[in-house]
Amino acid sequence: MILGLDIGGTNTDVVLLKDGYFEVLGTFKTRDFDLSKINVDYDALGVGIAVWFRNGKPVGAPNLERIPSLVTNKPKVVDNDANCFAYYSAYLTKKKNVLSLTIGTGIGTGIVIEGEVYRGDGLAGELGHAFVGGRRKCKCGGCGHLEAYFGGWAIRDIKEKLDKGTIYQTKGFKLFCIAVSNAIMLLNPEVVTFGGRIGGRLKEDLLAEEISKLIPEVFKPEFRVIEDDYAVAKGASLLARDSLQLKNR
């Protein structure tokens, strides 16, 4: 049994992977989350967290006020939350080459190439902090980053805009689609997936329509919105399961 956590800027989601099935254990406020209070037996822990890692060490966390204690005596795998989402996306879509965007408090990006998470020198996949123009201040300290124009902290009344459909007319959405189209041209993925508490509520057809305008037809991938708030936690548990199996061979 593998416990999966998704530690985000606002919420922490918890699932249990048992015999190939996922059991949702709940959602907690990240500021209050305490691993020791999760009263369930497990054999290993997988954690997806909104943190930048290099060589296994955290080097930045623009959208986290605090990193909860993850002390456990069980085997543990910790990775960037968007990497976990991409890994789950590959599992769900059965594709080997995947580009994944999580949109919640901020914007995360995960990449899977030939079935493996691609990390580059550790920090690959941070489209949210790519420069898109302007001088709007980003939480990471930079200016003009995509995340400063699109995402939970950047757009006022974003839930209302989602409900009314006006989000698709915002400057932030247009910039987001341009950034994703550039990533598609660079990576040529089989599928692009969108998730998170905001991304998972975007309309798949409108995303596909807007992004497809910006790329040649021959580069066009499949577009998939994953409407599952626990996708990152599930991906974290799968990544832990598969990583620990590899180590034990």
Q: Which domains does the chain have, with CATH numbers?
A: 2-81+229-247 (3.30.420.40), 84-225 (3.30.420.40)
How far is 158 from 138, CA to CA, in rounded Å? 17
pLDDT of 245 reads 79
Residue type, 49: I
Q: Give the β-pairing of 191-195 and 222-225.
A: parallel
pLDDT of 50 reads 87
Statement: residue 66 has pLDDT above 80: no
CA-based nearest residue to 149, from 119, 122, 129, 124: 129
Give the tens place of pLDDT for each residue, 193-219. Answer: 999 999 999 999 999 999 999 999 999
Give the tens place of pLDDT for each residue, 162-194. Answer: 999 999 999 999 999 999 999 999 999 999 999
Statement: residue 248 has pLDDT above 60: no
Q: What percent of the chain has pLDDT over 70?
A: 98
For residues 99-127, one letter each, b for 16 or more C-beta atoms within 10 angstroms of the residue's C-beta and e for the rest, the string is: bbbbbbbbbbbbbbbeeebbbeeeeebbb
Q: pLDDT band for position 69 (50/70/90)? A: confident
Statement: residue 249 has pLDDT above 60: no
Q: What average pLDDT score do residues 28-36 get?
A: 89
- Joined together, the tokens standing for residue 26 give 């709940």
pLDDT of 246 reads 54
Q: What average pLDDT score do residues 143-160 get?
A: 92
Q: Give the β-pairing of 76-80 and 44-49.
A: parallel
How far is 194 from 123, CA to CA, in rounded Å? 20
Question: Angle 81-93/231-247 helices, nearest 10 degrees?
Answer: 90
Task: Give the pTM.
Answer: 0.93
Statement: residue 105 has pLDDT above 90: no
- Joined together, the tokens standing for residue 11 give 């919420």
Q: Which of 60-74, 101-115, 161-175 has the lowest mean pLDDT?
A: 60-74
